Copies of this chain bind each other. A is one copy, B any other.
Amino acid sequence: MGSEAVRNKKVVLKQYVEAGRSPRESDVEVVATETVALAIPEGSPPAILVKNLYLSCDPYMRGRMTKHDTPSYIPDFTPGSVITGLGVSRVVESTHPDFIVGDLIWGITGWEEYTLLVSNLGSFFKIRYTDLPLSYYTGLLGMPGFTAYAGFSQVAQPKKGERVFVSSASGAVGQLVGQLAKRMDCYVVGSAGSDEKVDLLKNKFGFDEAFNYKQETDLDAALKRCLPEGIDIYFENVGGRMLDAVLPNMRTHGRIPVCGMISQLNLEKPDPVHNLFCLLIKQVRMQGFLVSEFYHLYREFEDEVVQLIREGKITYVEDVAEGLENAPAALVGLFSGRNVGKQLVVIARE
């Protein structure tokens, strides 16, 4: 590519989102920067220049939109600077020995057309199954899918035939958790926020039962209706009221992998949870995890799930926004549950 000149459209954070409110489209903006020389600068440490193809909209990004006085587990975004997040990219120039032009990779990149990457290059995964839709590497075969796999197999440690409940079940993580659980002959119930999503759970992803939590006046009653014998594994994606309702329904030696608490992300003061005593009397293990702890298992996961995809044994639903112009709406929509399935943004298809 050398020093070819291109424009580089990007999504920047306009201002921090205060704790206690949902992000709005106006909190981010799409900026069409001036034409720039597209090249790795002379004298740069080993680097790669990538063309970004698919961007992943993930719930954890909400935390980065708010300023924290004490550092969180991942840095805050900087107003005026490009948003970063997981994406699928193609290497267009490389001075780094591990990458060559044409490599397809996934990892943390910029929400922009081209990104120069000079650090943390070891955190990128090369995409080995390039015949599958590349967008899958923002979801089913990327971080969310691997989160489902690691959280279910490594943290929940399921046994055949157990009773599994998944919240936010039609989302990027939940849909795979449910299908992995069914493959272990578990009885699987999911909750979601619309009748359309409930229909997906039952008729596409093969959940045994599902309910629309927005239509239930009594979550405890809904859980008892769907899981009268209680819950061995609660795959926790939402937190708050749902978690509090689940706790008294846990069975002895139950496990709660804590993967997300999306209902809590926009609250200044998180919802109260009253029923933790149930952890004691039911000897329940509740465990927070970050997928990065398990990345040594990624290739094993990738091979296994690719095989299931090829055999038609895994279904996957994604919600695709076209173009960077639609990225702000896609990102913000995640926090009101507007997406159906994995939310991603296509910048370019190749």
Q: Give me the interface of A with B, judged by CB distance under 8 Å.
A: 72-73, 239, 243, 258-261, 264, 269-290, 293
One complex includes copies of this chain to the number of: 2
Task: Write out the residue numbers on chain B whose beta carbons fall within 8 Å of the beta carbon of A274.
Answer: 269-273
In the assembled complex, the Cα of A258 lies from the Cα of B318 at a distance in Å of 40
Q: Is the CB of A261 within 8 A of B277?
A: yes
CB distance from A33 to the nearest CB of B (A): 33
Contact of A289 with B283 in the complex, beta carbons under 8 Å: yes
Residues of chain B within 8 A (CB-CB) of A286 are: 279, 285-287
Q: Report the separation of the CA atoms of residues A264 and B278 in the bound assembly, to the nearest whole angstrom.
A: 12
Q: Are B285 and A243 in contact (CB under 8 A)?
A: no
Minimum CB distance partner of A276 in chain B: B273
> Quick one: which of A264, A277, A280 has the most chain B CB within 10 A?
A280
Q: Which of B72, B277, B283 contacts A264 (CB 8 A)?
A: B277
CB closest residue in chain B, given A292: B283
Check A288–B293 contact: CB distance below 8 A: no
C-alpha spacing A281/B264, complex, angstroms: 13
A243: nearest chain-B partner, CB-CB: B276
Residues of B within 8 Å of A276, CB to CB, are 239, 243, 258, 261, 270, 273
Among A72, A260, A281, chain B packs the most CB atoms within 10 A around the CB of A281
Once the chains bind, are B273 and A282 in contact (CB under 8 Å)?
A: no
Q: Which residue of B lies closest to A293 (CB)?
A: B283
Excluding A273-B274, A283-B288, A287-B287, 16 further A-B contacts by CB distance (< 8 Å) are: A72-B281, A258-B279, A270-B274, A270-B275, A270-B276, A272-B273, A278-B288, A279-B286, A279-B288, A280-B290, A281-B288, A282-B288, A285-B285, A285-B286, A285-B288, A286-B287
> Are B284 and A277 neighbours in the complex by a CB distance under 8 Å?
no
In angstroms, Cα B19 to Cα A20, docked, is 35
A288 CB contact (under 8 Å) in B72, B264, B273, B284: B284
Bound: A270/B269 CA distance, A: 18
Q: How far is the CB of A117 from chain B (nearest CB, A)?
A: 26
**Separation in Å of the A89 CB from the closest CB of chain B?**
27
